[in-house]
Structure 1
Amino acid sequence: MARERSGPNFAHVVLATRLRILRKAAGLSPQQAADALGAHGDTVRRIEQAKTSLDAGQVHTLLTAYGAGAEEIEDFLGKLSAASLPGWWHPWRAVMDTWQRDLMSVESAARIIRIWEPALVPALLRTPAYARALDEALRPDLAPAEMEQRTELLMARQERLRAQRTRIWALMSASALHTRVGGEEVMAEQRKVLRAEAERPGLTLQIHPLTGPPHALTGIPALTLYRVESPEIPDRMVREAGPVGTADVWDTDTAATTVTNYRLLMDSSSTRAPHPDTSKEALE
């Protein structure tokens, strides 16, 4: 387990996976492909696992060895060039937490995001005023301008996820509705937005009541599961534990048991939580 572990760019992972598929289709072993590069056998394995940057020259050599035609090579290199461009979130990179920078490309391609938030309104459902007030309370190390940029980024993330129709399944505790963040006006606006979000297609919101019994996620820090619609791309699980702004990140390629165990806890807790229609009553 590594806190704030760096992760490869999602677009690079897709291209690296494509290289592996083409190599296998050509009937070549990793060592044979490495021989074409004049490199060590581990070089191709690292390329295919997106553990090293994709070099255009090496990619061209590999594609040629795999029997790819000129048009396919040109298309692949074009995608590689596009994948190397800064992500849409680049203007806010300086105010992002390390784990967010590593995972933003995955979030931007996710088809479903599952969230557990034990004490606060989930980030992807927060209003600008709530998000800003929370940073003021929890991140006194940030300058006002940095807080404003972080709020802008969060609003951009929410907008993009709605535009790409990413399904969000959020599970939270009713304690968040009783934790006053930014005062009564901020909380009233936040409740209003949550009511509206609960009616939005593609979003499921469940709220564990304060008087409810313990459930599988009781005492567990905030969790987020990212799933992409591609069997080659592993799920990512984020646990926001420890100092504010840090997180533990796992994926199903390298920590399948950990990701599966937390997902099962989410499943169990969701089963015990009130139905989304009943949860809406807590927002009144």
Structure 2
Amino acid sequence: MSERRAAPTVLQISLGRRLRDLREVAGLSAAQAGERIRVAQSTVTRLEGARTSLNYTTVKALLELYGVTGSEARDFLTLVDKANESGWWQGYSDVLPGRFGVYVSLESAASQIRSYEPQVVPGLLQTPAYCEAVIRLGFPRESDESVRRRVALRLQRQNVLNRPDGAPFLWAVVDETAVRRPAGSRAVMAEQIERLMQTADLPNVALQVHPFAAGLHRGAFGPFTLFRFPIPDFPDIACVDSLRGTAYRDESAEVELYRSTFEHLMTGALARRRTKGFLEALRKEYLR
């Protein structure tokens, strides 16, 4: 029986999709595939949906059923072992909800991250003090130890931007509200603005502020992130936050809606050089 995971890795999601495609090409339903290899239909669908670890024996039986043999089967099974390796974030399972665990997995595997934040500075760009202020607001009943763990998780996520083996390109559009609304003291905000200016100088980071003067825009409904991956035929994924939680979308029409919205926001935001000048002026305001 396959084991549950705290959150799937992107490779696990990709292999699950591939299993589904192979089954459909073979002309079999999930129920028929399960019956042929003597497992429940739910086992097949859970494997395909990355809702459980990829059991080596079960995957091998499915590949044989679908007519996948030789080097193609061996390569697939090699990837199964790799996909089941635990991500670093699973060490924070005590403070990492399952749905957000998926987000961290996507973030860690992406080659490009496009993020829009209307209310707070993006997590990948937060200072420890700003991060703690945001977390204490969002989790007012958490113990100091739990807050410390949540801060540590967010700070470790930031390591992805400095990863030597292919750091992703981050393009962040931040509403002016996010940098003007204080989180903590004025000193905390001044430090946070300084961090934004420093991070914007990284070759793999583009930062734009969307000013009040630009007026109402299509991003007013809430924050979202678009992930792109260095995996052939793997779709972009949109992550959307709301009061109901985090939702993930990979349908082409929905992803295109968020992609076009992000381009709209980029057009209305200050250019990267003007953003840096805006942030420098704002930092001086906080230091007064």
Same fold (TM over 0.5): yes
RMSD of aligned Cα (Å):
2.8
Answer whether contact 2:170 2:206 (CA < 8 A) is retained: yes
Query: Aligned in 2, Cα 1:96/1:34: closer, same or farther, shift over 3 Å?
Result: closer
Answer whether contact 2:100 2:246 (CA < 8 A) is retained: no
Correspondence 1:121-136 to 2 at 5 A: 121-136=121-136
Higher percent of residues as helix: 2
- Tell me how far apart the structure 2 counterparts of residues 110 and 228 of structure 1 sit (CA, whole Å): 5
- Tell me how far apart the structure 2 counterparts of residues 55 and 136 of structure 1 sit (CA, whole Å): 40
Unpaired runs of at least 5, structure 1: 1-5
State the Cα deviation string for residues 5-39 of structure 1 (Å, max 9, x = none). x9743222222344467678xx7433686675256
Deviates more, 1:150-159 or 1:80-89: 80-89
Find runs of 4+ consecutive structure 1 residues off by over 6 angstroms. Answer: 21-24, 40-43
Correspondence 1:11-50 to 2 at 5 A: 11-19=11-19, 28-30=26-28, 37-38=37-38, 47-50=47-50
- Tell me how far apart the structure 2 counterparts of residues 114 and 273 of structure 1 sit (CA, whole Å): 14
- Tell me how far apart the structure 1 counterparts of residues 53 and 255 of structure 2 sit (CA, whole Å): 26
2:222 maps to 221
> Which of 1 and 2 has higher RCO (CA within 8 Å, sep 6+)?
1
Answer whether contact 2:103 2:239 (CA < 8 A) is retained: no
> Is 1:251 paired with 2:249?
yes
> Is 1:238 paired with 2:239?
yes
Query: Normalising to structure 2: TM-score of the pair?
Result: 0.81
- Tell me how far apart the structure 2 counterparts of residues 119 and 188 of structure 1 sit (CA, whole Å): 17
- Tell me how far apart the structure 2 counterparts of residues 15 and 212 of structure 1 sit (CA, whole Å): 43
Unpaired runs of at least 5, structure 2: 1-5, 281-288
Matched position secondary structure for 1:211: helix
1:170 maps to 172
2:147 maps to 147
Query: Aligned in 2, Cα 1:29/1:67: closer, same or farther, shift over 3 Å?
Result: same
> Is 1:63 paired with 2:59?
no
- Tell me how far apart the structure 2 counterparts of residues 189 and 178 of structure 1 sit (CA, whole Å): 13
- Tell me how far apart the structure 2 counterparts of residues 264 and 198 of structure 1 sit (CA, whole Å): 23
- Tell me how far apart the structure 1 counterparts of residues 178 and 68 of structure 2 sit (CA, whole Å): 57
- Tell me how far apart the structure 2 counterparts of residues 196 and 177 of structure 1 sit (CA, whole Å): 15
- Tell me how far apart the structure 2 counterparts of residues 239 and 116 of structure 1 sit (CA, whole Å): 10
TM-superposed deviation, 1:191: 1.0
2:284 maps to none
Query: Aligned in 2, Cα 1:18/1:236: closer, same or farther, shift over 3 Å?
Result: closer
AA aligned opposite 2:207: L
AA aligned opposite 1:84: N
1:3 maps to none
AA aligned opposite 1:232: D
Query: Aligned in 2, Cα 1:144/1:208: closer, same or farther, shift over 3 Å?
Result: same
Correspondence 1:94-133 to 2 at 5 A: 94-133=94-133
How many residues align structurally? 270
Query: Aligned in 2, Cα 1:187/1:104: closer, same or farther, shift over 3 Å?
Result: same
Query: Normalising to structure 1: TM-score of the pair?
Result: 0.82
